[in-house]
Structure 1
């Protein structure tokens, strides 16, 4: 065995990355200096978007400045139009919650237009302006000899980078080329934009430093600094990459990775600081974990009455429920998270053989297009000899999440979902443009001129960037939505101080889901009976569907419609919604797939019903089929303990009186239906009418076709098995 040189990790050489395949966000690492527990909880759960005027305003300014940077246009007209577009495109839900209209928010933001124009005229140019100086009031500054800077170009906006080398991931606000004066060096560095106050400068500096590692890994550079800009005070900082700070940050990253690696749901200790904890965004999750998972109490929390106020409503049933489901989610999440690393640790040939990857793929530019809300890219085999292998033979199907990388090892050039896959091509929808590999310009010099091809500029000008890349397309099996599951359970347990209606709604949900109390129904409703006897309803609904309508319209909590295949679930729900709308009610409509939702909305449009994705949480309708394929569960213990059981199954088993069956189907004739009815549906399926029951396939040229088959056959058994199968008689 050949003797290798030793790897030295000390204060001056290299870094030790623990669990490198667990990618920790740079933001979480930076935040962990104040509370490691908070960072772990942020990684474990999906944070609910907060609605406040300062947060909304900050996001509008942030997106506007990014747009102006990307387009190199800081005119007042462009800034004004961009602000209006961002408000209408990204924040209509926020305005609804804040009870604010678009013009009011824009009026509030108008004073910032001048500041954005000033930033552009001062810092964005081909050579540094004299007034484009660096702020030096806090902390060490990179390039002490630098007097002024200029942002010469933008390589990317919101660059999403995965770096298994450092065990980090992050979304960089902008990747810029910065010229320094008087040296005239051009550096490629991360640019971090902040619209708030500078009171969290330490955290922001740490985040910027970590981004230098990410971009250094992606662009093949030793990036020594990053830029940090505050819009409110027009402060432009150059943040150096100091080795001592990098060491501290990577130690913090390793601590987070170790905490996340544990299957026990154990968390770092609480901060026990009332002044910090009462303003923490994850305090509800923190307290619930402490009392339910860690068996803590008011004394161990160190937060006194404030802790008690947030958890005193949780009884033993709630604590047991939380413990049970958080444990099962953790088991399944651990098993699936371990699969993501296969994208960068397992060879593409092996992944493709397992049906989880397509290797050696190229773009078909003529099929690529921009659509509302996304970008569609179509890929095909790079080599003609590979085209014989059909893409449909894999385990990749429409709707699957995909990660796009290059065959040369450039990880995560894009992430999206499969739109369509056929024998020779696959189309993937991305929310952002597909990034190419970083390509150095002809004038590139690693010391003095770190200039790359501006692929985004080419795209904006309607030109094609260099797409001579072969890609590997990997199914992202770790995208299981476990963060959302944990967040939902935490929210179910949360008591929101000062929001009485929300607390009442959550208490009612705990009564129904945690305590499994029976749902309530009203007695006969004359209005319902009258509606069901209208001619339009009488002719389009069968007895089961009418019973389902009556059940739903009488429910106070929930009703369960168990509809087997082809039994008219969509038609029934459309009629229910029509009735509810006529009663002046609002309806929250959800579905597992966009296709199912679109089918229902089409029926509502035919009825002339307007719809908006807002609803009433006081009443919900669950529509499903408990006989359908159960969720795929990887962890055997999680499966044994009920993780494969849906909420629909759990409620229908506990309260059969809340269930209405739709058993009359309109898709299969009697003979075909009897097979599936006996095998899967406990012989409950019925044909909706005689036409459906007796329906047969009619072949226009059946006798001629059979004669031709027999004429070319050397021998054929009598009777002919093919005729017996195909003959509709």
Structure 2
């Protein structure tokens, strides 16, 4: 990766922005700048001899593979595809980069973009997407040092704070974007946040001393700040006193800059705006008139930026007898009054952000809250140009996190990060120093990368000397797999659709609702949470996938209002949608049209990368986990139960154990004896949730503390619903709207609200009073974990959770219990390469090789014996057994079956259609309907793979079962493809059938129904094989969801091509459980169904 030396990024910025005045320092800087330009020129000369474009065939393949995903267009929000890059020597003898570009989806209508001066260093390549600012004359853009900007990968939005931090060290900025959770909270950050909020409340209300005291008092009582005080083990009164020390400066600033009757009373300042032209008089008085917005969130797809402006203010600039009105960003700083390049750069970038909403402010205001001193910061072209070039460098690093070789046989690798700087002072206080050294050793030095400065080698060694080669390899591999997976998901679920696609088009996917207007008054639920109600301007709500609890991004329909707010859907119906948002939007006109976009969380790799980084730390906890997980140290167990079981708990434990079967009791004993970890294999229907609930009760009776986790909220709440019946107290972490309604009263949020907790002492009392705490694996950044270590951590669904995610809660316990079954669904991995590298191996599967730590639950209470035999034959080698004769012999109850049987015999010739009676017989629990002769071909459409014939047959079977007396809610329909689910749902709706659950195998994991109907969809004897049906674990889940009746539907010759299904079909055939459907049977069944419905 070629980037400018990071030390010189600072020198590229304008002298006015830097605030330098010393002539000697200028001379040094200019000479350094000249050297940097000479180095860049040498690089350009060298590249002249190289091939300017990749091989045509390779590039064509790249473009053809991705053009359908691109949105290209001209105009203000232009998106150009780069077709070719050439370096050309112009008439003056200097070098230029010439880009052949197009904004046409058909790759026609080509234009030329000429990059001059320092813009030549932008690492743009054929196939890249760029945005251009400037003028296009005769299909030619010219971007030089005086005019225009090029934005590389404009749909990667980077915060102004990140870009400003990259000035001193680009590597630190990229690491902070990659390992977000590694930047620790500090006392200074908390003080800064509180002071920001106090100032923001004051500027919207009053700076009177008594009001400032009131705002400070209120703010330090807010629960989110109390939680940070708990995390950092601070004193609430000390924080309040420190905040109060700033308040006189707040009042001083307001007296100096607000509400002046005479502009001459305002402090004199130096500010030259670009629009002032050649006016040499930069002396002016700045008056802040009002506050227009607080924490204004702006996304700028034009400049590839995002950020939150502390305060957006209206100001008057008085210069002599002339007055100019501007709307400017006001940036608040609570640290030392540095007027530093980073602080000033941040404001320059905020002026670019502001242009998305209003006229160019041309400058911003930098206010240091400790002194009340304010500095105007002009945003001239040079400053914006160099900051956008830094932004492009950073975007390049973030986009090219994977290094793919042109040689297919070579392995995909992680790309090196920007170069390590040699600056002892900067590195000494860098929060990313550990990750910087770790990445260098684990990734870059393994590639024989020799770009580490000599002076930094001792520091890298010091930070990583506790790690073995196996640890570094584990880190490198998982970083690579997580990055591959995130890029795969980002391609499908990026936020860019919000600004690139109209809501009307996205509504078809079900993940967006547009044309909304606000109704009713906005209600403040608590500080930072506002309840909004919306309805369609015209008509009812469209068909949507959005439901209560879903995360959403709210934008305006007009292009200037992207991402106004984030929040959750509180309630949704056919006429309206209620949302809990993080901003009060009542300041916008009532006529404003809005759109809601579902915010996908599947791309989030911040938490797993943070866990991976934490695993490599030089701490006792991380060392123990590395020994167990990476180096496979055998887990240790205590020999005698009496040594861990308190005497006064023995009777209680004995009473609880009475209700368990033998494998469950063995699991309880194994956990109690463990010193490290235990694995509980919960085979289908074996009462996994009941077992976990019982385990928690026993551990609680023994006086142990327990952290209960899983990947999904529903899995956590299913255990808590059982636990709540035993009157055992627990604390549920997480946002109340994501939690089961019956568990919400146990959430931290609800308890704090009901008890009106406003002091740190009361919050500590709440945390300390609960020995059982429950949350999801992604909720481990909660402050409670900074000061609490649990005796046991229980992870449900462990076989479905990727290793780095599963790691999270284990850092906060002495022992852990993983509950799962690797014969069922593995962690979901979309990227094929990541899957091939082993990303679908869960921690449960990895540790299962230590057999002495494993207990198997084999007694099941779900399936009758015939359904169970399928799974026993295919997967469990006969280990599964029914819990009782009642379970083994259970059949579906169909009260009206005799009447239905007579109807079927009337409408169908039994001799030609023997299957029609047999399939509904309660005493025939398993059957496979072969559609080969019907026929039932699959259809591959834009929405995915489907099979309309199978869908019609499924609906017929469902209708007959309901007519025979089965409750619709007792019937489940499974299909591997979403398009098939949609078609089945549509047909059920047309048949007036409600309450039948239609879903994928993944959604049915851990669930069951009396009747399960499975549509396999794929029906092509020679065509390509689908990936989903190759997974034997997915098949195992599908055939173990039914209690009493399992009906499978598909084309036998086609399905035999899939090894897992081939094995199943061989077994079913040997048991004579496959029935061939006659030709055109679906048509006759439609007639039968019509007659049924008329009767």
Q: TM-score range by the shorter chain?
A: 0.7 to 0.9
Which residue in 1 is equivalent to 2:766? Answer: none
Q: Does residue 662 in structure 1 map to residue 857 in structure 2?
A: yes
Whether the 8 Å contact between 1:356 and 1:474 is mirrored in structure 2 is no
- Residue from 551, 558, 561 that aligns with 2:680: 561
| 1:296-329 Cα deviation digits (max 9, x unpaired) | 6897452254332211112111121122111112
- Residue from 139, 145, 148 that aligns with 1:11: 145
- Residue from 458, 482, 494 that aligns with 2:617: 494
Greater displacement, 145-154 / 413-422: 413-422
Whether the 8 Å contact between 1:128 and 1:149 is mirrored in structure 2 is no
Provide the rounded CA distance (Å) in 2 between the counterparts of 1:147 and 1:364.
Answer: 40
Whether the 8 Å contact between 1:127 and 1:150 is mirrored in structure 2 is no
Q: How far off its partner does 1:689 sit?
A: 4.7
Higher-strand-fraction structure: 2
Which residue in 1 is equivalent to 2:514? Answer: 360
Greater displacement, 595-604 / 169-178: 595-604
| 1:266-307 Cα deviation digits (max 9, x unpaired) | 111101222221111111011011111111689745225433
Provide the rounded CA distance (Å) in 1 between the counterparts of 2:711 and 2:240.
Answer: 36
Structure 1 residues 297 and 210, CA gap change in structure 2 (3 angstroms): same
Structure 1 residues 694 and 708, CA gap change in structure 2 (3 angstroms): closer
Provide the rounded CA distance (Å) in 2 between the counterparts of 1:623 and 1:645.
Answer: 15
Q: Does residue 292 in structure 1 map to residue 442 in structure 2?
A: yes
Whether the 8 Å contact between 2:311 and 2:329 is mirrored in structure 1 is yes
Q: How far off its partner does 1:679 sit?
A: 6.5
- Residue from 624, 636, 639 that aligns with 2:820: 624
TM-score normalised by L of structure 2? 0.56
Equivalence map 1:192-203=2 (5 Å): 192-199=331-338, 201-203=340-342
Whether the 8 Å contact between 2:512 and 2:596 is mirrored in structure 1 is yes
Greater displacement, 32-41 / 579-588: 579-588
Provide the rounded CA distance (Å) in 1 between the counterparts of 2:578 and 2:394.
Answer: 37
Q: How far off its partner does 1:711 sit?
A: 8.4
Task: Give 3-state SS (helix, strand or coil) of 2:141's partner.
Answer: coil
- Residue from 206, 209, 215 that aligns with 2:354: 215
Task: Give 3-state SS (helix, strand or coil) of 1:198's partner.
Answer: coil
Which residue in 1 is equivalent to 2:562? Answer: 411
Structure 1 residues 608 and 89, CA gap change in structure 2 (3 angstroms): closer
| 1:586-627 Cα deviation digits (max 9, x unpaired) | 333333233333444452582245525444132233333434
Larger radius of gyration: 2
Q: How far off its partner does 1:642 sit?
A: 1.1
Please provide the CA RMSD for this pair: 3.9
Which residue in 2 is equivalent to 1:281? Answer: 431
Task: Give 3-state SS (helix, strand or coil) of 1:249's partner.
Answer: helix
Q: Does residue 250 in structure 1 map to residue 250 in structure 2?
A: no
Which residue in 2 is equivalent to 1:306? Answer: 459
| 1:130-158 Cα deviation digits (max 9, x unpaired) | 66536669999999343241241232x22
Provide the rounded CA distance (Å) in 1 between the counterparts of 2:705 and 2:223.
Answer: 24
Provide the rounded CA distance (Å) in 1 between the counterparts of 2:483 and 2:686.
Answer: 37
Provide the rounded CA distance (Å) in 1 between the counterparts of 2:556 and 2:718.
Answer: 37
Q: Does residue 326 in structure 1 map to residue 464 in structure 2?
A: no
Task: Give 3-state SS (helix, strand or coil) of 2:376's partner.
Answer: strand
Provide the rounded CA distance (Å) in 1 between the counterparts of 2:599 and 2:564.
Answer: 14
| 1:332-383 Cα deviation digits (max 9, x unpaired) | 2223333413433345455444x26324342563597654674455656554
Task: Give 3-state SS (helix, strand or coil) of 1:173's partner.
Answer: strand
Which residue in 2 is equivalent to 1:642? Answer: 838
Whether the 8 Å contact between 1:553 and 1:576 is mirrored in structure 2 is no
Which residue in 1 is equivalent to 2:986? Answer: none
Provide the rounded CA distance (Å) in 1 between the counterparts of 2:253 and 2:453.
Answer: 49
Structure 1 residues 608 and 315, CA gap change in structure 2 (3 angstroms): closer
- Residue from 254, 265, 270 that aligns with 2:420: 270
Which residue in 1 is equivalent to 2:311? Answer: 174
Provide the rounded CA distance (Å) in 1 between the counterparts of 2:251 and 2:905.
Answer: 82
Equivalence map 1:313-712=2 (5 Å): 313-339=466-492, 340=494, 341-348=496-503, 350-353=505-508, 355=509, 357-363=511-517, 365=519, 371=525, 374-375=529-530, 377=532, 382-384=537-539, 390-392=543-545, 401-409=551-559, 410-417=561-568, 428-430=579-581, 432-433=582-583, 435=585, 455-456=586-587, 465-477=588-600, 480-495=603-618, 503-526=619-642, 527-528=644-645, 531=649, 534=652, 536-564=655-683, 567-601=686-720, 603=723, 606-608=727-729, 610-611=769-770, 613-614=784-785, 615-616=788-789, 617=812, 618-652=814-848, 654-666=849-861, 684-689=879-884, 702-703=895-896
Q: Does residue 715 in structure 1 map to residue 836 in structure 2?
A: no
Provide the rounded CA distance (Å) in 1 between the counterparts of 2:260 and 2:860.
Answer: 69
Q: How far off its partner does 1:678 sit?
A: 6.2
Task: Give 3-state SS (helix, strand or coil) of 2:419's partner.
Answer: coil
Provide the rounded CA distance (Å) in 2 between the counterparts of 1:510 and 1:138.
Answer: 58
Provide the rounded CA distance (Å) in 1 between the counterparts of 2:899 and 2:592.
Answer: 53
Provide the rounded CA distance (Å) in 1 between the counterparts of 2:728 and 2:333.
Answer: 48
Provide the rounded CA distance (Å) in 2 between the counterparts of 1:694 and 1:366.
Answer: 57
Whether the 8 Å contact between 1:135 and 1:235 is mirrored in structure 2 is no
Greater displacement, 680-689 / 260-269: 680-689
| 1:3-52 Cα deviation digits (max 9, x unpaired) | 95533323333211122122122111111110111111112221335344
Q: Does residue 20 in structure 1 map to residue 154 in structure 2?
A: yes
Provide the rounded CA distance (Å) in 2 between the counterparts of 1:255 and 1:670.
Answer: 63
Whether the 8 Å contact between 1:153 and 1:178 is mirrored in structure 2 is no
Q: Does residue 261 in structure 1 map to residue 457 in structure 2?
A: no
Provide the rounded CA distance (Å) in 1 between the counterparts of 2:359 and 2:333.
Answer: 25
Whether the 8 Å contact between 2:512 and 2:595 is mirrored in structure 1 is yes
Whether the 8 Å contact between 1:259 and 1:267 is mirrored in structure 2 is yes
Task: Give 3-state SS (helix, strand or coil) of 2:387's partner.
Answer: helix
Provide the rounded CA distance (Å) in 2 between the counterparts of 1:522 and 1:424.
Answer: 61
Q: How far off its partner does 1:537 sit?
A: 0.4
**Relative contact order, higher structure (CA 8 A, sep 6+):** 1
Task: Give 3-state SS (helix, strand or coil) of 2:150's partner.
Answer: coil
Which residue in 2 is equivalent to 1:461? Answer: none
| 1:500-532 Cα deviation digits (max 9, x unpaired) | xxx111111111122122222221221549757
Provide the rounded CA distance (Å) in 2 between the counterparts of 1:623 and 1:130.
Answer: 73
Task: Give 3-state SS (helix, strand or coil) of 1:146's partner.
Answer: strand
Task: Give 3-state SS (helix, strand or coil) of 1:277's partner.
Answer: helix
- Structure 1: give runs of 5+ residues left out of the alignment: 436-454, 457-464, 496-502
Q: How far off its partner does 1:123 sit?
A: 4.0
Task: Give 3-state SS (helix, strand or coil) of 2:330's partner.
Answer: strand
Whether the 8 Å contact between 1:29 and 1:252 is mirrored in structure 2 is yes
Provide the rounded CA distance (Å) in 1 between the counterparts of 2:637 and 2:460.
Answer: 37
Structure 1 residues 315 and 172, CA gap change in structure 2 (3 angstroms): same
Structure 1 residues 419 and 528, CA gap change in structure 2 (3 angstroms): farther
Task: Give 3-state SS (helix, strand or coil) of 1:303's partner.
Answer: helix
Structure 1 residues 232 and 366, CA gap change in structure 2 (3 angstroms): closer
Provide the rounded CA distance (Å) in 2 between the counterparts of 1:67 and 1:307.
Answer: 45
Q: Does residue 100 in structure 1 map to residue 252 in structure 2?
A: no
Whether the 8 Å contact between 1:134 and 1:149 is mirrored in structure 2 is no
Provide the rounded CA distance (Å) in 2 between the counterparts of 1:466 and 1:225.
Answer: 27
Which residue in 2 is equivalent to 1:498? Answer: none
Greater displacement, 138-147 / 208-217: 138-147
